[in-house]
Amino acid sequence: MSAELPPVLLVGAGRMGGALFSGWVARGLAPSALVDPAASPGIARDCDILVGAPAELPARFAPAAAILAVKPQMADAVMSVLGRALPGGCVVLSIMAGRRIAGISATLGGERGVVRAMPNTPAAIGRGISVACAGAGVSSAQRDLCDTLLAAVGDVAWVDDEALIDPVTAVSGSGPAYVFLLAELLEQAGVAEGLPADLARKLARKTIAGAGALMDASPEDAAALRRAVTSPRGTTEAALAVLMDAGAWPRAVGEAVRAAAARARELAS
């Protein structure tokens, strides 16, 4: 396969970094490098240069983009070295929660273009959604490159106000965990009502996956789809009377998103 994507440097190959890298390889990635001493065998096999630290990168390696996918608390030690190892013109794409563009740029030690993005875990199957914000000095070509890299694993949206990345993190970045919790609770409730555990698990997972796919394919909004399956005085209406009580889901979901957004702001630097 001919390379559709230029060489990149991925720093950190955890769940999200690994999902991104796999998506790029599938799209045709030019020879690239990975900084992660604990990379999985599959990810390590697909990269051309694997090192344990940025200082170990060969001088000849010139990536078009460097992707920061490390834990925020580990970032400073990595970035202080990384800034000296990157060639001019290399854009930095950060998917770290809470780390601001200005702080990343300052730690890298220069006027390097930085794009901050928040993808989510469905990127692992090419069904993610990423929201990105470009810092000052990012060229249109660098923004286009970051858009292409993020689009390899799902949809992409851009915002001009970096502060919006915090609520994005709370809604879509953390959102898959809310859905997984719903599946977990549905399974438990089914078992409590007498369903065999394996059947309750299958019903919960398939119902959520199918409903999500239906919503994704439908031009109607979520409220319209909900009303369409709610027959008057039926079973769904009885269940929704509980879930939609002011003290139930409307309050709990709002409080959950606010808590996640507040934590994202606390992590900011």
User: Would you tell me which CATH number, out of the four given (3.40.190.100, 3.40.50.720, 3.40.190.10, 3.30.70.380), belongs to the domain 8-165?
Assistant: 3.40.50.720
Please give the torsion angle defined by the CA atoms of residues 243, 245, 251 and 257, in that order, rounded to the nearest 10 degrees.
Answer: 30
Would you state the structure tokens that stand for residue 154, as one six-digit string? 């799902």
Query: What is the per-residue pLDDT for 57?
Result: 87
Query: What is the per-residue pLDDT for 116?
Result: 97
Across-strand partners of 65? 8, 91
Q: Which residues of the chain have pLDDT under 70?
A: 1-3, 269
Q: Domain residues of the chain, as ranges?
A: 8-165, 175-267
Which SS3 state, helix, strand or coil, does residue 129 take?
strand
Fold held by 175-267: ProC C-terminal domain-like fold (1.10.3730)
Q: Where are the alpha helices (DSSP H) in 193-247?
A: 197-217, 222-228, 235-243
Report the C-alpha gap between 131 and 114 in whole angstroms: 14
Q: Cα angle vertex 251, ends 247, 253, to 5°?
A: 135
Query: What is the per-residue pLDDT for 1?
Result: 46
Domains 8-165 and 175-267 equal at CATH topology level: no
Report the C-alpha gap between 83 and 151 in whole angstroms: 26
From 65, 1, 54, 56, select the one nearest 32 (Cα to Cα).
Answer: 65
